[in-house]
Amino acid sequence: MKTITLTTDHATYQMGVTDAGRLLHTYFGPRVPDDMGYAIASPDRPFSGNPADGLDLAFSLDVLPLEYPTYGVGDYRRAALDVRTADGTDGCDLRVVSWDQHEGKYALDGLPAVHAAAADASTLEVKLADELIGLEVTLRYGVIPGLDAICRSATVTNVGTEPLVVSRALSASLDLVGGPYDLITFPGRYGMERIPERSAVGHALASVGSIRGASSHQANPFAILAEHGCDEDHGTCWSMSFLYSGNFTCEAQQDQFGMTRWAMGLSDQMFEYPLAPGESLVCPEVAMAFSADGLAHLSHLNHRLVREHVCRGPWALRRRPVLINNWEATGFDFTGEKIYDIAREAADLGIEMVVLDDGWFGARDGDRAGLGDWVVNEGKLGGTLGELSRRIEGLGMGFGLWIEPEMVNEDSDLYRAHPDWALTVPGREPIRGRNQLVLDFSRPEVVDAVFEAICKVVDAAHVSYLKMDCNRSMADVYSHAVVHQSFGKTMYRFVLGTYSFLERLIERYPQMLIEGCCGGGGRFDAGMMYYTPQVWCSDDTDAIERVRIQGGTSYGYPASAVGSHVSAVPNAQIGRSVDLETRGVVAMSGTFGYELDPARLTDAECDVVRRQVVDYKRLWPLIAEGDYYRLGAQDGHGDFAAWGFVSPDAGQALLDVVSLDARCNAPVSYVRCKGLDPAVVYSLELLCGEGGGQAMPTELSGAALMACGVPVPQVPGEYHAWQWVLSARG
């Protein structure tokens, strides 16, 4: 058996090619110098089929670890690929044709992919074929050694003369011996996204995913496989992150002999994707990372991967402007003068940008009309958008705008002119969401028309920021542009149409900051972050709820990508009132901004906002580039939540603590820091929070801060917050 080995700084990924061209997976774990094929045990197993190229009864693909398993070769586990021929036969028998490794990271046409300088990455391409049915599959592996990351994609091509149908095409599959393992996923719902859920991988199939057209509030295309007992600081774990913003699946299952198969890729529910001769399907990329040092280190790797190798453009690493959005202050009920008043009050507080949300266009005074008509409502604004933006810029502020390009109201000029541009089933009443339909972004002419209409608005006003929303799940997936419907093909091309729209925006306005949004966190994925370096984390802006939401988000995504704002109280979503200091501490673990009317703040609250803005600007490098540590009950079920950021050189740290419960005569709780230098003495600067009668030293060693920690002050009431900056002395 020939061996193919990929190495990172701390990991080895290995495959084996049998004499008959079968591609086996032999190892992915801590870096080793050996050929790990020796560990594959394959005794004779009754009722496991033996392919013709097997040397004896002990050779069966049903019990071997496979690199890219297919249906129809005697492997009865879940396949990564299934193809149907013109006569209705399912299955394919792939054999290795060749492989080649070269410097630099591959890219994918029309799809997001991890990027890296040529010297910092390499690519392996393995070509496989089933000559009988005319199928070719190219597996791509992008290796980022410094992040212990292996990126995977597959291209499935019909090289024959007859049509084929792809009914399942995943991007990555891992067969892991050993274990037992736990699967950590991040399910949720609208307004409570990405809450960690951990369960043992057993013989029952564990499967999460989305068929909603977006990666969704209900599931997230990021998952972790961890050894039993793996925690924040110890143990072996792997992650998969799908760089795709549409339907997906993530599956894990033990086979009959305890091997675990873990896979991720396009959802196969109603997927069937026809391939004409010469046509290809590119499976979106899965970025995998490995840690032998627990979940915190795995998060650090993923944070760097997204921040430095997924996000692009001038805003990827740059501090984002502190902004104020008018939605929670006004809803649809505003005028141009009201927006200017918000801007004027915000400028006095040090806020740097105003974002005009939904309601500035068409006949848009509610959510039943106007969506799709990207023409400025000058009567509502009392003038042109350019005039408003220039007035706001005269205050020293930037101007941003909300758009929702993929959607349309039936009560709109666009829909009346082009009803066939919406995804609707002929003769059937459509399914609506937020009183709107979905435009068929699988059609280039639809994307072109919407793009040009929005650009006309942007060109007429100085817009330096766009918030791109998407406020419903997809149904009625019927494209009026094709004769033979294919749910899978239309959904896939819809996502590519959205990516094309975003790529064209980036090319036309290279200095513009774009924030992704999908009813809040319904499209919070690495695929979207390739185009929008920040994504609105959740429509739930309550600070205490956000502790849980942002805590779960932190497993796979960096704070620099988390859209997070201070909102008014009582909170618009749940009616809770939380102190302004606490709201600020929570929102600072993201891109930071405000969702309120500053005219309603007291003088004392205005002073707090001014300080928060100054503190955030000062702390941005630490928040954006520091290693993030989960230090307390960010699941919302303890007395307090705590988290921290530590600079790469451990010379500075930020410690955030929020009390979640109040109890009579409660014991003292302690927050133990992580990531500090034990030999260094740190000065403690309390930025906000009451001491509660607890006298704290102004200096402590890193050893003390990590061994004993900081006692949480006992202050009457709920939802208090404390924020310390720890700085290495001297």
Radius of gyration of the CA atoms of the chain, in A: 27
Q: Where are the alpha helices (DSSP H) in 461-602?
A: 487-508, 526-529, 543-553, 580-587
Q: Token pair 């009813």 is at which residue? A: 519
The DSSP string of 472-499 is: S-------TT-SS--HHHHHHHHHHHHH
Which one of the listed residues 35, 272, 293, 605 is annotated catalytic?
A: 605
Phi, psi of 686 (to 5 degrees): -85, 110
Q: Mapping DSSP to helix (H, G, I), strand (E, B) and coil, where does residue 372 land?
A: coil
Q: Report the DSSP beta bridge partners of residue 466.
A: 401, 514
605 is catalytic: yes
Distance CA 175, CA 26 (A): 8
Q: Report the DSSP beta bridge partners of residue 155.
A: 138, 282
Query: Which tokens in the block code for residue 542?
Result: 């309550």
Query: Which tokens in the block code for residue 103?
Result: 């410097």
Characterize the bridge pairing of strands 260-266 and 248-254.
antiparallel
- Kindly report whether the peptide bond that precedes residue 716 is cis, defined as omega within 30 degrees of 0: no
- Kindly report whether the peptide bond that precedes residue 533 is cis, defined as omega within 30 degrees of 0: no
**One-letter amino acid identity for 95?**
R
Cβ proximity of 553 and 524 under 8 Å = yes
Which one of the listed residues 525, 579, 595, 597 is annotated catalytic?
A: 525
Cβ proximity of 562 and 586 under 8 Å = no
Q: Mapping DSSP to helix (H, G, I), strand (E, B) and coil, where does residue 450 land?
A: helix
Distance CA 617, CA 222 (A): 30
Cβ proximity of 281 and 169 under 8 Å = yes
Residues 6+ apart with CB under 8 A from 117: none
Comparing CA positions, the residue from 381, 547, 361 lying closest to residue 450 is 361
Q: How many CB atoms lie within 10 A of CB 617?
A: 15
93 is catalytic: no
Query: Which tokens in the block code for residue 205?
Result: 């199939």
Distance CA 547, CA 198 (A): 19
By annotation, the residues acting in catalysis are 525, 605
